[in-house]
Amino acid sequence: MSRFAYFFRETLISLRRNLLMTLAGIMTVAISLFLFGGIVLLNRMVDHGTAKWKNGVQLEVFMRNTATQGQIDDMRQTLANTPTVKSFRFLDHNAAYTEFKRIFRDNPALVRNIAPGDLPTSYRVAPRRAQDTENLAVQFHARSGVDTVITAEREVRNMLTATRVIRYVFFTMAGVLLASSLFLIVNTIRLATFARRREIEVMKLVGASNWFVRVPFMAEGLVQGAIGAGISFGLVIVLKNVLTSLQTHKSVQGLFNGFYVTNGDALTIGFMVLLIGAGIGVLGSTIGLRRFLDT
Amino acid sequence: MIRFDNVTKVYKGDVVALRDVSLEIAKGEFVFLVGPSGSGKSTFLRLLLRDETSTTGEILVAGRDIGRLGSWKVPQLRRNIGCVFQDYKLLPNKTVYENVAFALEVIGRPKSIVGSQVPQILDLVGLSKKATNFPTELSGGEQQRVSIARAFVNRPLILLADEPTGNLDPATTVGIMRLLDRINRTGTTVVMATHDQRIVDAMRRRVLELDHGQLVRDQARGVYGVGS
């Protein structure tokens, strides 16, 4: 108990003594981890928004809710007989409802007000060649019982390309910033050990264990990393709420194309960020301690 | 208690600090380590503390080969070896009491032990009345007493002293030597490196003389220099 009190006191004293360096370390950790967390969050959003366009699916044919079973079967026949269609899959009311619930799991009121029968059935179609998409869309739209056909528009494609570029740029920036926050922590710990070199000398002389000497400095690095990560955790949650509030203004049809993020996504990313922050703190102090405490 | 078996220490650049030194120091002995600067006295003490390891040869402390100790066991060795230096190495921002208590706190001794041992040892070195003073408010002799109190508060088996009287005047030196003698009489082995001819000649204890890293004299009830 008294040992814990000792570590706590020493860590606090040391953090206060290097206040400016400590703040610089915390802020760099926070900014770099927020960049990192933010880009992962946006990534998740793009993943969700483009999930249905995986495996070569380029268009989705929505049937009218009033469509007869005969019209639905006709459509299936047409798809099966069209040579430029590689594959297709039918989503009935229940499948649509399952997907709907997944997308809006953070919005139970909306889910309560929608029954499976309210949602249109659809075919998801993968053409053999992407350039056939537009022709197929026109062709299928003319069939009876078809409400609308949406395609993986050029915008989505462009967006995927754009996000890939942005992703690399941001990841690189986050990486550089993380590295510099690591160096800042290393430097802070070096200053701290230098400021207390007399005490360290005496401690080693009278036989304090290596861990006893080390723990206050490790804790100092850990605190810096963790506080920085805590700030970026908060920022990631804020970003999630901003993105969600943008989403709810869209129309219901737009919701289906929805680029959304869930609380679960934000929390997972938040904890990832916390772990990285704490890891950087400990790594930084370990490196910072190496020079002084080698026996 | 301490045994050197053919110990040689070579520093980088082929500087030979100790050359094939073999000796044995029994429990409870008081030994002077003499010799000119650069003769290997400090290396001798640093090897005992496992600050450095010997290039060849074995050093045994209480029967254990300290060259083979894992680095996590070095603190245990040092808890059994008290250490006093010419420059005292006191912490200026701590009081006399805190400086001594620090040595017990950082090896995890409980508060109750600290509370009973520190006043006792301050009494032994005669500084009970200065417990709340800071080192800068003390004379050199008093500071060295604090340093000795810190080295001895954990009751080590061995006390090493590297020129403990190097900065002190003759009258103060006598006081410090009385204190070390008293500690020695509790059964603690004392090894003291010194240049001070008068105290060596006055105390008539075992003398080990080093010259250019070689043990050139091992004399019971010896004097500082041969023929003096």
Same-domain status, A97 and A124: yes
Residue contact A205–B107, C-beta within 8 A:
no
Q: Which residues of B touch A3 (CB under 8 A)?
A: 108
Instruction: Note whether B76 contacts A: Cβ–Cβ < 8 A.
Output: yes
Same domain, A147 and A73: yes
Domain boundary among A104, A125, A155: A155
Please check whether residue A199 touches B, CB under 8 A: yes
In a domain, A162, yes or no: no
> Which has the minimum average pLDDT: A88-92, A273-277, B91-95?
A88-92
Interface residue A212 vs chain B (CB under 8 A): yes
* Domain that residue A205 falls in: 3-51+170-289
DSSP string, B39-59: SSHHHHHHHHTTSS--SEEEE
Asked if A112 has any chain B CB less than 8 Å from its own CB, the reply is: no
| Domain end (from A155, A182, A210) | A155
- Assess whether A216 and A247 both reside in one domain: yes
| DSSP-derived secondary structure letter, B71 | G
C-alpha to C-alpha distance for A206 and B217, rounded to whole angstroms: 31
Inspect the interface and report whether the beta carbons of A212 and B78 lie closer than 8 Å. no
Which single residue is written with the structure tokens 């992703």?
A167
Average pLDDT, chain A: 81
A69 and A125 in a single domain? The answer is yes
Full DSSP string of A192-261: HHHHTHHHHHHHHHTT--HHHHHHHHHHHHHHHHHHHHHHHHHHHHHHHHHHHHHHTTS-HHHHHT----
- Rounded distance, CA B60 to CA A166, Å? 64
Strand partners, B61: B2, B64
Listed residues A100, A126, A155: the one ending a domain: A155
Of A287, A84, A88, nearest in space to A182 by CA: A287
Cα–chain center distance at A43: 6
Average pLDDT, chain B: 92
User: In this structure, is residue A18 part of a structural domain?
Assistant: yes
Q: Which residue of B has its CA nearest to A4?
A: B108
pLDDT over 50 at A245, yes or no? yes
CATH of the domain at A61: 3.30.70.3040
Of the segments A232-236, A252-256, A258-262, which one has the largest average pLDDT value? A232-236
Measured from the Cβ of residue A182, the count of other Cβ atoms closer than 10 Å reads 23
- A147/A204 same-domain check: no
| A210 touching B (Cβ < 8 Å) | yes
Q: Are residues A142 and A223 in the same domain?
A: no
Q: Are residues A21 and A100 in the same domain?
A: no
Average pLDDT estimate for A93-98: 84
The reply to whether A108 and A10 lie within a common domain is no
Clarify whether residues A105 and A77 are in a common domain. yes
Closest-approach residue (CA) in chain B for A215: B106
Is A214 domain-assigned?
yes
Across residues A249-267, what is the average pLDDT? 62
Q: How far is B48 from chain A (nearest CA, A)?
A: 12
Higher pLDDT, A4 or B154: B154
Residue A163 lies in a domain: no
A130-170 per-position pLDDT tens digit: 777 778 888 888 877 888 887 776 556 666 677 778 778 87
Residue A294: inside a domain: no
List of chain A residues whose C-beta atoms are within 8 Å of the C-beta of residue B107: 206-209, 212
A64 and A26 belong to one structural domain: no
SS3 A179: helix
Q: Which residues of B touch A208 (CB under 8 A)?
A: 75, 106-107
Residue of B nearest to A7 (CA): B106
Contact B107 A207 (CB under 8 A): yes
**Domain count of chain A?**
2
Q: Residues A47-90: pLDDT tens digits?
A: 777 766 666 677 788 888 888 888 888 888 888 888 888 888 88
Distances in Å between the Cα of B67 and the Cα atoms of A29, A136, B47, B91 are 43, 82, 9, 30
- Residue B117: φ, ψ to 5°: -75, -40
A69 and A36 together in one domain: no
What is the model's pLDDT at position A158?
66
Question: Is A205's CB within 8 Å of B102's CB?
Answer: no
Q: Is A98 found in the same domain as A15?
A: no
| A161: in domain | no
Dihedral angle at the C-alpha atoms of B36, B41, B42, B48, nearest 10 degrees?
180
* Residue A110 located in a structural domain: yes
pLDDT band at B206 (very low <50, low <70, confident <90, very high): very high
Q: Report the pLDDT value the prediction gives residue A55, as an integer from 0 to 100.
A: 62
